[in-house]
Structure 1
């Protein structure tokens, strides 16, 4: 099974994606992890990404897409949960192309829905306090919400039009949200 888990920052994607990948017997593929791995291993893509990051610039899609292409071609990625990619409409097209080149397609897109923006901000502030992420200031957190709204939220109607979007209420305990996701996965398995 090949799934994409999406939702605004603070919706619990990272937490749910790890458990979901385990439950489907697939790889958890996080863009953050891919960047860290490519930087640590000093791959050509990692070195290129570092140049942009050191200059305080966004890493261009071509670099991110290359990392995703390489990661999805690995043997453990026959089943996966994508977390953090795609983030833009152009990346949706690229992902479709990558998967088509591998003879695959997404089986489903699960979107965690949290309507209360303040709930998301407070979750992330709490996470920053408990995990020691000093860079996660309230201003930075609110900016990430704005970026999500401006770019990534537009993917919801795209995937709805593809007929593979499943919206899940992201409010509740980790177990409650996981149970809702599991019900979607069960429906996809038919």
Structure 2
């Protein structure tokens, strides 16, 4: 099964991606991890990406596409994969479709997790993380036993710099301007599946599995 995972920041894509990958025994490919691995291993593509990033520039589409195409061509992806964080634009989606269709292995689904914008802001702004052990919490939905203190290691919890309300609104604006158009793109290809992400995590998972059947 070959899946593209769509949804705005805070929709719960990371949580659901792991469950989908485990359920169907497919590879979960996060583009953030993909960049980090290529840069860490100093691959030719990783070195090119690093040069752009070090200069403070966006990595161009053709290089991002090349990184993804290289990854999904690996042996462990032959049984399927889930792409998380790519494509972000219609141009990237079109290039991905061309590549997979020419290889005779087109995408099966574009799965979109939908959550109202006001709920997304509450979700993200309320997130807290432990800088020591990496545990994550939410001030409303998953609070620590002691306010502001990690249950696991007792360290003081922090809020990520990009989890402020102003930053979140800006990220959602970027998503709506660029990535949201992917919904129409995949709807026209007749592979779009939408799921209501404004529910209990396990209910969302169940609905995803039903939709993918």
Common fold by TM > 0.5 = yes
Q: Where is the helix percentage greater, Structure 1 or Structure 2?
A: 1
- Residue by residue over 1:145-189, the C-alpha shift from the partner in whole angstroms, topping out at 9 and shown as x without a partner, is 111000000010111111111110011121111011010112xxx
* Aligned equivalent of 1:168: 195
What is the distance in 1 between the residues matched to 2:159 and 2:65?
A: 27
Which SS does the other structure have where 2:5 is aligned? Answer: strand
The match for 1:155 among 171, 182, 185 is: 182
* Aligned equivalent of 2:17: 17
Q: How many angstroms does 1:56 deviate by?
A: 2.1
Give unmatched runs, 5+ long, in structure 2. Answer: 130-135, 137-157
* Aligned equivalent of 2:69: 69
Q: How many angstroms does 1:135 deviate by?
A: 2.8
Q: Contact 1:5 / 1:81 at 8 angstroms: preserved in 2?
A: yes
What is the distance in 2 between the residues matched to 1:75 and 1:125?
A: 39
Q: Contact 2:89 / 2:182 at 8 angstroms: preserved in 1?
A: yes
Q: RMSD over aligned Cα, in angstroms?
A: 1.4
What TM-score, normalized by structure 2, do the two folds share? Answer: 0.82
Matched, 1:93 2:119: no
Give unmatched runs, 5+ long, in structure 1. Answer: none
What is the distance in 2 between the residues matched to 1:56 and 1:126?
A: 29
What is the distance in 2 between the residues matched to 1:33 and 1:12?
A: 17
Relative to structure 2, which stretch is displaced further, 5-14 or 138-147?
138-147
Indicate the structure whose relative CO is greater, using CA pairs within 8 Å and at least 6 residues apart.
1
